[in-house]
Structure 1
Amino acid sequence: MKLATYNVNGINGRLDVLLRWLEERQPHVVCLQELKAPDSRFPHREIEKAGYGAIWHGQKSWNGVAILARGRTPMETRRGLPGDPDDSHSRYIEAAIEGIIVGCLYLPNGNPAPGPRFDYKLRWFDRLQHYAAQLIDLEIPVVLAGDFNVMPTDLDVYKPERWRDDALFRPEVKAAYAALLDQGWTDAVRHLHPNERIYTFWKYFRNAFARDAGLRIDHFLLSPALAGDLKRAKVDKSVRAWDHTSDHAPVWIELL
């Protein structure tokens, strides 16, 4: 099974890119982030024509997450992360697909830091930790995939010294990610490529992509019941060079 995560940075504006990538790669399951569209404007008909069923949790102009499954409709198991009933951001959706629980997430950016946005990011991370621990306790196959907006180590950013005060790289955020791994989750890409500089995001300006001045912020976390099935992990870096593409590249893993 091939599972992918892709921050599309506006699903309607970049629908041609998404559909082209789906046709070329044919992943079985896809987690999408930054839909930037309300539920009523999710392009489900076009995605269905491409062979995928979908569930989505949209929001006008910002955020938004979705899960696609080839040849079937994902069975939704959760919409929104527990722990804050007043949180109006569309950042988490979850489904059961072929015996696997798939959680698709878009963690807050948190900039500028320090500040209210950074505080919200840490609170959201805390909620994720509590819920992820519950998933681990179920002892079932689970994958948490998406844009985590965190570079876990110096190996995950092109010039670490320039990012020390950024909300994606501050010690509190890296510690929160490490605490997730300590629960028993496996960072799939880093597990298979322990010493490689692999990036999933390149800014649009200052020729970042051509210089390979990137960040690794899109991750797959696998529960212990699933980690042993991990076979491959890769970033479709070439997609970042397509016309009118997202500033993220799709990331995918293969399971036995």
Structure 2
Amino acid sequence: MRIASYNINGITSRLPVLLRWLEEAQPDVVCLQELKTPSERFPRAEIEKAGYSAIWHGQQRWNGVAMLSRVGEPVEIRRALPNDPDLAQSRYLEAAVSGVLIAGFYAPNGNPWPGPKFGYKLAWLTELRRHGASLFKAKAPVVMIGDYNIIPTERDAYKAERWVKDALFAPEARALYAELLADGWTDALDTYFKGDPPFTFWHYWRNSFARDAGIRIDHALLNKVAARRLVAAGVDREPRGWDGTSDHAPVWVELKV
């Protein structure tokens, strides 16, 4: 099963990009972030025509997450963290798909740092870690995948010194990510690429994508059951070069199920 994450950066304007990628890449499950549209405007008909069933949790102008599947309908478990610090923000979907438990989410950006938005980021990530501890113990494979909005290490950024004042690279955020790994979660990309994982995000300006001046902020963490079944992981760079595309590229993991 190939499970992907794609921060689409506006599903209404990027729908042709999404549909093209679905047709070409044929992922089994896709977690989407930053829908930037209310639930009633989610393009269900177009997604179903592409061969995917879907669940979604939209929000006007900001945030919004969805889960698409072509290998059985996602069985929704929850659409917010158990102690989400701000339920008005649509950031989390958790569902079972064909025997795999998948948590797809869009973590807060946290800028400007320091400030209240950064405090919210840390509170949200702390709750993610707390809830993740219960997910980790599941006897089924569990995948926590999405836009974490964290650059874990210096090697995960082109010229890391340019990010030292950004919430994505803040020591507190990186420490929380390190704590997730210390809890036992496996970073699929980092593991598969043996400590040299590819970037997942490139700014639109300064020819960043062509120069590969990017960062890695989209991650897939696996519990022990899922980690034993890891076959491959990667980043689909090609859609990032298409016209009218997102500033993120799809991230994916492939599990033997």
Is the TM-score greater than 0.5? Answer: yes
**Unpaired segments ≥5 residues, structure 1:** none
Whether the aligned pair in 1 keeps the contact of 2:148 and 2:217 (CA below 8 Å) is yes
Deviates more, 1:83-92 or 1:21-30: 83-92
The aligned residue for residue 37 of structure 1 is: 37
Pair 1:133 & 2:108 matched: no
1-structure distance, mates of 2:71, 2:192: 29
2-structure distance, mates of 1:86, 1:217: 22
Give the letter aligned to residue 234 of structure 2.
K
Whether the aligned pair in 1 keeps the contact of 2:74 and 2:96 (CA below 8 Å) is yes
Instruction: Give 1:255 deviation, angstroms.
Output: 1.2
Deviates more, 1:74-83 or 1:131-140: 131-140
The aligned residue for residue 180 of structure 1 is: 180
1-structure distance, mates of 2:41, 2:252: 26
Whether the aligned pair in 2 keeps the contact of 1:35 and 1:63 (CA below 8 Å) is yes
Give the letter aligned to residue 66 of structure 1.
A
Q: Secondary structure at the match of 1:94?
A: strand
Instruction: Give 1:194 deviation, angstroms.
Output: 2.2
The aligned residue for residue 53 of structure 1 is: 53
Matches within 5 A, 1:67-216: 67-84=67-84, 86-216=86-216
**Structure 1 runs of 4+ with >4 Å offset:** none
> Which whole-Å deviations, capped at 9, do the CAs of 1:66-96 have from their partners, x for residues lacking one?
0000153211011111113653100000110
Q: Count the aligned residue pairs.
A: 256
1-structure distance, mates of 2:255, 2:197: 22
2-structure distance, mates of 1:95, 1:137: 16
2-structure distance, mates of 1:157, 1:5: 19
Q: Secondary structure at the match of 2:168?
A: coil
Pair 1:8 & 2:8 matched: yes
Pair 1:237 & 2:242 matched: no
> Which whole-Å deviations, capped at 9, do the CAs of 1:125-173 have from their partners, x for residues lacking one?
1110100001113333110000000011111000111111210001100
Q: Secondary structure at the match of 2:11?
A: coil
1-structure distance, mates of 2:251, 2:84: 29
Instruction: Give 1:60 deviation, angstroms.
Output: 0.4
**Unpaired segments ≥5 residues, structure 2:** none
Whether the aligned pair in 2 keeps the contact of 1:94 and 1:104 (CA below 8 Å) is yes
Q: Secondary structure at the match of 2:93?
A: strand
1-structure distance, mates of 2:170, 2:204: 22
TM-score by length of 2: 0.97
Instruction: Give 1:238 deviation, angstroms.
Output: 1.2
TM-score by length of 1: 0.98
> What's the Cα RMSD here?
1.1
